[in-house]
Amino acid sequence: MAVMKFGGTSVGTASAMQQAIAIVAEKRKAGVPLVVLSACSGITNKLIQIADAAGSGRLDEALAKVAEVRKHHVDLVGEMVGDEALREELAEKIDGYVSRLEMLVKGIEIVGELTERSKDTFCSFGELLSTTVFAAAMAEQGQRCQWLDVRQVMITDDNFGFARPIDEVCEAKVAELIRPVLESGVIVVTQGYIGSTTAGKTTTLGRGGSDLSAALLGAWLHDDSIEIWTDVDGVMTCDPRLVPDARSIRIMTFSEAAELAYLGAKVLHPDTIAPAVRKNIPVYVLNTWHPDSKGTLITDDPALLSGMSYEGLVKSIAVKKGQAIVNVRSNRMLGRHGFMNELFGVFERFGVSVEMISTSEVSVSVTVDDTTVSEPLIQALSALGDVELEHKVATVSVVGDNLRMSRGVAGRIFGSLRNVNLRMISQGASEINVGVVVEEHDVPSAVLALHCEFFSGEQCGIFEKPAGS
């Protein structure tokens, strides 16, 4: 069995949904899949705008945007469903969600406060709506399938906005509610990204979390494969939006994929790999628009990996924009212990996650997400030393298992970046990445220079030009 996850652009329009349905129908010939969907592209962003507008009392704006969400899905039904009675039934379902969304908007506007908890409820409508339309259209085309509210299965903690599942409970629910349906030959269509607390409150796993939902469900089902269907030909040597020449990577290890995702490659949610590693399930990243191209296989299977050996140093380049450098300088660091503990204690108190670190005898530089830098955080850090801040920087990292034992890689990185102002340098403790921090406006030239250095002469069979290029 396989779990197949389709991202926002793969279900955003009628033609995309149609394409995804055809891919599922083809897959069904080999076994009945579980289908996990994102919201249609742009809808989660719109729901967040609606929530923010309601929370700040802009009722008309919020309701106008709700109407846009409704129209998007009603139009989809119009394009995808032929049967009149089914169209009406779907219009009623959509209106049911929309009126709940409107009630939520009005409630939040009256209370005048938007919490993480209510934001999660707003966001959940995107996936509920996309799966409703998809499942109905697929059934109309003769595929036996059942829509499932994943909140019956994805039982999470109450960390709203970043909820994590309670494994044992979810695994039991999957065995009870999903496995028997699949075994009876019926495809299950359900939502990524959303879940529910044991008390029945809607949660989300965080932005981009549908990949994680799919990996978790695949692991609980002991599936043979986890397929992430998206809008590019798999994991590539760099984000193709930054490097038009980027190539698809045929095969990579779990650690390479996890590192790349954590370091900013949006193609996979960073936590997707862990459930796959736990059950040793291969992950495929595939292109909905080129279903016949090979995409990327992520595996630790030595037989598969050795069949496609790679002698090069770097597999891929990741970029994370929207970062800030926080530098704390203090003579108290010299030869004393406890300073780091105090410093990280401050970040912990403010719930700020530290990404890259570089230290000298008297100063520590870290990168953090720019949106997490606040005046109270800076004040608290100032009690430890002089604080300097640099906004609008980005981390650019090269990743590859072969970096671990290779000489000369630093020379090649810094040689190729000789014309770029490097603000920080760091080698990841895993030893499979080396990262630099640059000003955001330098990202295009830094990335192009690195890509040219490590991939221009690369003739190795594990890279492929994307289909259609």
In the complex, the residues that contact ligand ADP under the rule CB under 6 A are 7-10, 38, 208, 230-232, 235-236, 238-241, 265-267, 316
**Binding range to Mg ion, per CB under 5 A, among 55-63, 205-213, 300-308, 349-357:** 205-213
Name the region of 61 (left: φ>0; alpha: ψ -120 to 50; beta: rest).
Answer: alpha
Q: What is the DSSP letter of 96?
A: H
DSSP state letter for 310: -
Q: Are strands 433-439 and 155-156 parallel, antiparallel or unpaired?
A: unpaired
Residue 33 binds Mg ion, judged by CB under 5 A: no
Question: What is the nearest approach in angstroms of Mg ion to the Cβ of residue 211?
Answer: 6
Q: What angle do CA 456, 287, 236 make, to 5 degrees?
A: 25
Pick between residue 238 and residue 258 the one whose CB is nearest to ligand ADP.
238
CB of residue 340 to ligand ASP, shortest distance in Å: 34
Residue 106: contacted member of Mg ion, ligand ADP, ligand ASP, none (CB under 5 to 8 Å, by partner type): none
The number of residues making up the chain comes to: 469
Of 236 and 394, which CB lies nearer to ligand ADP in the complex structure?
236
Residue 283 touching ligand ASP (CB under 6 A): no
**CA 13 – CA 80 distance, rounded (Å):** 10
Q: How far apart are CA 355 and CA 366, in angstroms?
A: 7
Q: Any idea which residue has 């995309």 for tokens?
A: 16
For Mg ion, the binding residue among 12, 126, 195, 208 (CB under 5 A) is 208
Q: Please report whether residue 12 would count as binding ligand ASP according to CB under 6 A.
A: no
User: Is the Cβ of residue 44 or residue 255 nearer to ligand ASP in the bound state?
Assistant: 44
Q: Using alpha carbons only, what angle is made at residue 300 by residues 248 and 402, rounded to the nearest 5 degrees?
A: 65
Which residue, 9 or 323, is less far from ligand ASP as judged by CB?
A: 9
Smallest distance from Mg ion to CB 277, Å: 19
* Minimum distance of Mg ion from residue 163's CB (angstroms): 17
Residue with tokens 């919201």: 39
DSSP codes, 403-430: GGG-SSHHHHHHHHTTTS-EEEEEE-TT
Among the residue ranges 91-99, 200-208, 317-325, 396-404, the one whose residues contact Mg ion (CB under 5 A): 200-208
Restricting to residues 115-144, name those near ligand ASP by CB under 6 A.
126
Quick one: CA torsion of 51, 52, 58, 63, rounded to 10 degrees?
A: -30
Whole-number minimum distance, CB 203 to ligand ASP, in Å? 13
Binding mask 42-61 toward ligand ASP (x if CB under 6 A, else -) reads --x-----------------
Q: Does 39 bind ligand ASP (CB under 6 A)?
A: yes
**DSSP string for residues in 61-73:** HHHHHHHHHHHHH
Does 264 engage in binding with Mg ion (CB under 5 A)?
Answer: no
Least spacing, CB of residue 350 vs ligand ADP, in Å = 28
What is the end-to-end Cα distance of the chain in Å, rounded? 32
Distance between CA atoms of residues 223 and 273, nearest Å = 14
Q: How far apart are CA 369 and CA 104, in angstroms?
A: 30
Residue owning tokens 């999957």: 174
Q: Between residues 7 and 466, which has the closer beta carbon with respect to Mg ion?
A: 7
Interaction pattern, residues 169-198, with ligand ASP; x per rule: CB under 6 A: -----------------------xx-----
Minimum separation from the CB atom of position 216 to ligand ASP (A): 13
Candidate list 12, 208, 282, 295; residue touching ligand ASP; CB under 6 A: 208
Q: Which is nearer to ligand ADP, 108 or 450 (CB)?
A: 450
> Shortest gap between Cβ of 161 and ligand ASP (angstroms)?
11
Q: How far is the CB of 306 from ligand ADP (least distance, A)?
A: 24
239-277 core/surface letters (b: 16 or more CB in 10 A; e: else): bbebbebbbbbbbbbbbbbbbbbbbbbbbbbbbbbebbb
Instruction: Say whether residue 209 binds ligand ASP (CB under 6 A).
Output: yes
Nearest by Cα to 73 from 101, 35, 49: 101
Answer yes or no whether residue 12 interacts with Mg ion by CB under 5 A. no
Least distance (Å) between residue 40 CB and ligand ASP: 9
Q: Does 288 bind ligand ASP (CB under 6 A)?
A: no
Cβ-closest residue to ligand ADP? 7
CA–CA distance from 343 to each of 269, 338, 360, 378, 393 (Å)? Answer: 29, 9, 14, 11, 21
Residue ranges that bind ligand ASP, judged by CB under 6 A: 7-8, 38-39, 44, 126, 192-193, 207-210
